[in-house]
Structure 1
Amino acid sequence: MPVKVPASLPARGTLEAENVFLMEEPRALQQDIRPLRIAILNLMPTKIATETQLLRLLGNTPLQVEVTLLHTASHEAKNTPAEHLLEHYVSFAEVRDQTFDGLIVTGAPVETLPFEAVDYWPELAELLDWARTNVFSSLFICWGAQAALHRYYGVPKHPLAEKLFGVFPHRTLARHERIVQGFDDVFFAPHSRHTETRREDILAEPRLELLAESDEAGVYLIQSADRRQVFVTGHSEYDPGTLQGEYARDLGKGLPIGIPKNYFPGDDPTREPLVRWRGHANLLFANWLNYFVYQEAPFDLGLLPVEGRQA
């Protein structure tokens, strides 16, 4: 997928080296098509790494995508240069009157806090409510998925006895659904979290459908009954070395952390991690963009068929 990104975005050099199809704005304007407008609310502290991971996956289908990077105005990022945010990000207030084909909300390292104790929760809650009327399809990742499930459906998150950390096998529960088209019988995905969404809470909500789960990692993939919202509890977007970096970080801080499961060959942290989730990640994002966004969103985004908006 040709993704429109500015030449100054740090991710550009990385993705060009990987032969990901990127497009500068002058060339994009010459194409007589309407690009998919995708907003990404990046809540991760490592914003540059996360935006690179997501743009890599958005660049893997033959559609043109125009990405708008969002940050929370009510929270000061401590790990990303202010100049980067000023040049490449906008706040929710700046897009409040706009409409988008798709929205991605990332995870965030705040999962042990009650939702309402997160300093930017009021802003996030407002954005989630706005997405009902101004976004056709939304994809929520890890804590972003927990936050959206809580806001939209009252689904709680539950603390785990220890951090769920590693790469785990999952199985598909509903093969007829388009978001899981092409998934293997068993597929792998990374997880890194201290809380969980429980199966019984999802099954008790008739407006939600559980699509994939893991014996060890639990609930993984959920969609809303109208197929306008997708919730992913893991991190399929992670780079090969992301869990390795988190492991080294926590060890350095003296935090209780085990070796990430099913990640290092022979559980030996001196060896290169074994990547088993790349194919799944590309398929998940491609299915979302194709079946949930491109095939369904109206050409005129002013005609979004969502609650609260008049067609």
Structure 2
Amino acid sequence: MMTVTSKNGLAKTKQLWQENIAAGLELLIVNLMPTKLETELQFLKLLAKTKINCQVTFAYPDSHHFRHGDGPLVKQTYLPLSQALKQNFDGVIVTGAPVEHLAFEQVDYWHDFCRLVAWAQATNTYALFECWASQAALKVQYGIEKTARKAKLFGIYQARIQAETNHFLKGFGSGGLLRMPQSRHTDLNLPPKLPKDLQLLASSNEVEAFLLATSDLKNLFITGHPEYATETLAGEYQRDVRLGKKISLPSNYYRQRQIVNSWQPTSVRLYTNWLQVIQKIG
């Protein structure tokens, strides 16, 4: 039987999955989102849908200054990144973070993030970066910058597959399409010619790059949030309205005033492919 469990974190995972698990992949999740519990559950549920055995350890950057009340609890339940990097993991997932308004070097845990990227490159650890983390990792590895958007990219967007034979796109089919939640204020400033070991996997005219990967498959860069639950974008919209921010309803999210989760098949397929790459190559 497939199992996904968490060794630590805020979620009561024993109520969701078996306590005793078969041998599986050891994953580290560096959770940079302010909604720690919600984000934990999103990733654990997505990993469970892949039907691949996983054990998950959550970590936080040592240098991060918590601005939310759950800071002390996170420090009690998460591993400091400095300790996590002394252990062995098959894969690491780094979440998005609401720090797009800052230059990369102004983020309080920037040096921790750079250390994490260097650790993943130096070890046999496969890395998956999402949203801000994907932009930050591309900055560290290739010097690729980000640019501010005039309006927030917010909603469900569709991309066309650019590299059908890539392992990460197995099962999407010839000319396949993928859908993904996007929620960000910045775009990648990609050069006209990408570095030779970096490949664009999926893109659209509206969203530029959706997915990029290195040729050795050790790094997968996802510019959106495939882990988002059905109601997540609605919650973000309501939050921004309460804060008086200029925000439009999420695009391509509602049909006849009902939310339609059109991205879950993409998300499950993408994460399944990533885990299978680790199983076969790692």
Q: Which residue of 2 aligns with 1:213?
A: 203
Aligned 8 A contact 1:198 1:219 in 2: no
Q: Which range moved further: 71-80 or 151-160? A: 71-80
Q: Distance in 2 between matches of 1:147 and 1:123?
A: 12
Aligned 8 A contact 2:203 2:210 in 1: yes
CA deviation after TM superposition for structure 1 residue 200, in Å = 3.4
The 1:157/1:8 distance shift into structure 2, 3 A limit, reads closer
CA offset digits 1:144-202 (Å, max 9, x no partner):
0001000011111111111111111111011111101112622211100010114435x
What secondary structure, in the 3-state scheme, does the structure 2 residue paired with 1:43 have? Answer: coil
Amino acid at match of 1:153: Y
| Alignment counterpart, residue 273 of structure 2, candidates 287, 293, 306 | 287
**TM-score of the aligned structures, taking structure 2 as reference length:** 0.92
| Alignment counterpart, residue 179 of structure 1, candidates 162, 168, 176 | 168
Aligned 8 A contact 2:61 2:112 in 1: yes
Q: How does 1:93-132 map to 2 (within 5 A)?
A: 93-132=82-121
CA deviation after TM superposition for structure 1 residue 57, in Å = 1.4
Q: Distance in 1 between matches of 2:8 and 2:190?
A: 44
Q: Which residue of 1 aligns with 2:183?
A: 192
CA deviation after TM superposition for structure 1 residue 6, in Å = 5.3
| Alignment counterpart, residue 237 of structure 1, candidates 201, 204, 227 | 227
5+ residue gaps, structure 1, are 17-21, 298-311
Q: Distance in 1 between matches of 2:69 and 2:179?
A: 30
Amino acid at match of 2:55: E
Amino acid at match of 1:193: R
Q: Distance in 2 between matches of 1:41 and 1:247?
A: 25
Q: Distance in 1 between matches of 2:218 and 2:268?
A: 20
Q: Distance in 2 between matches of 1:283 and 1:61?
A: 7
Q: Distance in 2 between matches of 1:80 and 1:141?
A: 24
The 1:50/1:113 distance shift into structure 2, 3 A limit, reads same
Q: Distance in 1 between matches of 2:132 and 2:198?
A: 17
Q: In terms of Rg, which structure is larger?
A: 1
Q: How does 1:43-122 map to 2 (within 5 A)?
A: 43-79=32-68, 81-82=70-71, 84-122=73-111
Moved over 6 A (4+): none
CA deviation after TM superposition for structure 1 residue 263, in Å = 0.8
The 1:172/1:80 distance shift into structure 2, 3 A limit, reads farther
What secondary structure, in the 3-state scheme, does the structure 1 residue paired with 2:114 have? Answer: helix
CA deviation after TM superposition for structure 1 residue 288, in Å = 0.2
Q: Distance in 2 between matches of 1:217 and 1:146?
A: 14
The Cα RMSD (Å) is: 1.9
What secondary structure, in the 3-state scheme, does the structure 2 residue paired with 1:93 have? Answer: helix
CA deviation after TM superposition for structure 1 residue 265, in Å = 2.1
The 1:169/1:227 distance shift into structure 2, 3 A limit, reads same
What secondary structure, in the 3-state scheme, does the structure 1 residue paired with 2:196 have? Answer: coil
CA deviation after TM superposition for structure 1 residue 83, in Å = 5.2
Q: Which residue of 1 aligns with 2:212?
A: 222
Q: Which residue of 2 aligns with 1:296?
A: 281
The 1:287/1:173 distance shift into structure 2, 3 A limit, reads same
% identical equivalent positions: 37
**TM-score of the aligned structures, taking structure 1 as reference length:** 0.84
Q: Which residue of 2 aligns with 1:255?
A: 245
Q: Distance in 2 between matches of 1:286 and 1:155?
A: 28
Amino acid at match of 1:242: T
Amino acid at match of 1:263: Y
Q: Which residue of 2 aligns with 1:273?
A: 259
Q: Which residue of 2 aligns with 1:12?
A: 13
What secondary structure, in the 3-state scheme, does the structure 1 residue paired with 2:33 have? Answer: coil
| Alignment counterpart, residue 23 of structure 1, candidates 12, 15, 18 | 18
Aligned 8 A contact 1:11 1:48 in 2: no
